[in-house]
Structure 1
Amino acid sequence: MSNRSLISIADLSPEEIVALLDRAEDLKAERSGRGGCAFGDRLPLAGKSVAMIFEKPSTRTRVSLEVAATELGGHPLYLSANELQLGRGETIGDTARVLSRYVHGITARVFSHRTVEELAAHSSVPVINALSDQEHPLQILADMMTIREHFGYLEGLRIAWIGDGNNVCNSLILASAMLNMRMIVASPRGYEPKGQILERARELGGVPEITAEPSEAAHDADVLVTDTWISMGDEAEEAERLRSFSGYQINQRILEIAGRDAIVMHCLPAHRGQEITDEVMDGPQSVVLEEAENRLHTSKAVLEWMVGRRPL
């Protein structure tokens, strides 16, 4: 493969998404001892290092990426904002050019989407978006893996997003369009997904639906998804957001409106009692922990392909 980066979930083709999900399932089975060796005679990241830039702290993203790189035989390098010269005025381009001389891949969890775009523009090694304010492609690969594990397929399923039209929502809209899934988003006015994301989804063949009514989105849904109402960087708006999102909670009433076999997802961390109730999150239809675990397996598939250069 060429020296590609993964900045948006739409940087992948539908066929590549499916191939990554297939590979992640093999890696998951191998790790649990149910399958054969997933790597053959050589670890795919043996002798390779991955720089992992974190402007934002994380639990799942950091642990899943570090464990993934390590289990693939690579060496992960955690780099917080305070440990890079970015904090002292070095340009993003210079940082990317220098890191490219040392490592074989870069992952970046950043505040601004422009930062990860600039890293990719100036890097000679693959750059993987591990979260920006616009997208979260690694999360959506894990979500798609979780949905497919439960239903056995993706095409035609109805996904209801209830809450903030944020970065995770954006990537889910795009992936749903590419994989022929129906997606409807219920957000308060002023917090809907941005027009550029909806337009890109239409270009990809999707027909995303937007409503202000959570019950309308949840009706007969196969998958209910939510996320925190107050993402990192939105803390100054907390009081306003809590007022605006009142009523946009996945609770037992909303779950009963959804399809009989619906599953509930949340990328975590969850603010229990706000966007989701304990009853639902800990209930039998929740796949939240499976979703979190699958961050490891899909991250391994991506790193193996993009950094380890394993063909899909």
Structure 2
Amino acid sequence: MNTAKAAEAKMKSNDFLTLLDYSPAEINQLLQEAIILKDKKLQNDSALPLKGKVLGMIFEKSSTRTRVSFETGMLQLGGHALYLNSNDLQIGRGETVADTAKVLSRYVDGIMIRTFSHKMVEELAENADIPVINGLTDKYHPCQAIADLLTIVEKKGELKGLQLTYIGDGNNVAHSLMVACAKMGMEFSIAAPEGYHPDKDVVSLCEEIASQTGGKITITTDPVSAATGADILYTDVWTSMGQEAENAKRIEVFQDYQINEDLVQYAKEDFLFMHCLPAHRGEEVSAGVMDGSHSVVFDQAENRLHAQKALLVQLLG
């Protein structure tokens, strides 16, 4: 069995840990469900498919969009969300991840966790009898990627064949975007300084997937070549949570990797600018691009709600 198929074989159908576990058809189904739920929200549809359901939300990393979107989503679907700070749980005082998973499985209907270690999320899912959702780890951010695909579909009407260019650190957001693009037959280009490229194993998996879907993966250090002809330009902060000690060094290393008025000239005329937020104007993006007519960053942020509602209905409904 090849490596991409091996990754697929590990899929637990009732978890959402990474988009590697989902087929293009399943991703499309999730996007269509999100579109339907978004339309129902606009029409004030009062259907409550998750009435009586409870989502436990474990946070080891602080959050604005993840917490508010999941909590609001559960409320709008008729369910309830419990905010569980790791400092308030026994897991923060030495209880094992396995024991925590088994206990929470007796109380709630699903677990969303936002943490540092991806292995911790995998261990939680392995020991839980209920769905586990990866709200973010240091390796992957699949909830953001689904919201991004939803935004692109709304703005462009399609996914396959589009070129998404990511400028900046090869981090968790970049990994999940690369997986999403590979799965959906898109071209993914990333320009990052040497030493800050995406994980080689993730790149290898995505290249194999892209070879089957008609997609393409390009890794470079040149922002201009990556941005040339792009349908979407995407960036993230240069210093993620947990990397604060590296901030001064990262600002120096990434100074030539800002998406600004000069760089966007190489993209297509109707390009979209995307950012997972929070953004630091004047660092990874200029204020003019961030707040300009091509920016869809707040549509992205809203779509976290609709995409995650679709995910919750699929896993908990």
* Band of TM-score, shorter chain: over 0.9
In structure 2, the partner of 1:14 is 24
2:275 to 244, 259, 266: 266
Which blocks of at least 5 consecutive residues in structure 1 are unaligned? Answer: none
Match of 2:126 in 1: 121
Which position in structure 1 is the counterpart of 2:56?
51
Q: Is the CA contact 1:44–1:72 (under 8 Å) kept in the aligned structure 2?
A: yes
Match of 2:192 among 187, 200, 203: 187
Residues 171-226 of structure 1 deviation map (CA, whole Å, 9 limit, x = unaligned):
01011011000011000000000101011112313431101011111001000000
2:185–2:216 CA contact under 8 A, matched in 1: no
Query: Structure 2 unaligned runs (5+)?
Result: 1-11
Residues 1-312 of structure 1 mapped to structure 2, 5 A cutoff:
4-33=14-43, 37=45, 39=47, 43-205=48-210, 206-308=215-317
| Cα offsets for 1:236-279 (capped at 9, x unmatched) | 11111111101100101111110111000000000111001110
Q: Is the 8 A contact 2:186 2:216 kept in 1?
A: no
Identity of counterpart residues, as a percentage? 51
- Return the alpha-carbon distance in structure 1 between the equivalents of residues 308 and 46 of structure 2: 15
Runs of 4 or more consecutive aligned structure 1 residues displaced over 4 Å after TM superposition: none
Residues 30-88 of structure 1, C-alpha deviation per residue, up to 9 Å, x if partnerless?
1112xx8484xxx2211111100010010000000000011111110000111111111
**RMSD, matched Cα:** 1.2
CA distance in 1, matches of 2:147, 2:74: 16
Distance 2:295 2:228 in 1: 17
* CA gap 1:193/1:38 in 2 versus in 1, 3 angstroms: farther
SS of 1:296's partner is: helix
Shift of 1:3: 5.6
1:198–1:300 CA distance, 2 compared to 1 (3 A): same
SS, match of residue 164 in structure 1:
coil
Distance 1:22 1:38 in 2: 19
Query: Do the aligned partners of 2:165 and 2:226 also contact (CA within 8 Å) in 1?
Result: yes
Contact 1:27/1:38 (8 A) holds in 2: no
| Alignment-mate amino acid for residue 89 of structure 1 | G
Aligned length: 302
* 2:160 and 2:186 in contact (8 A); partners too: yes
Q: C-alpha distance in 2, partners of 1:84/1:16?
A: 34
* TM-score normalized by the length of structure 1: 0.95
Structure 1 range deviating more: 87-96 or 202-211 = 202-211
1:3–1:125 Cα contact (<8 Å) kept = no
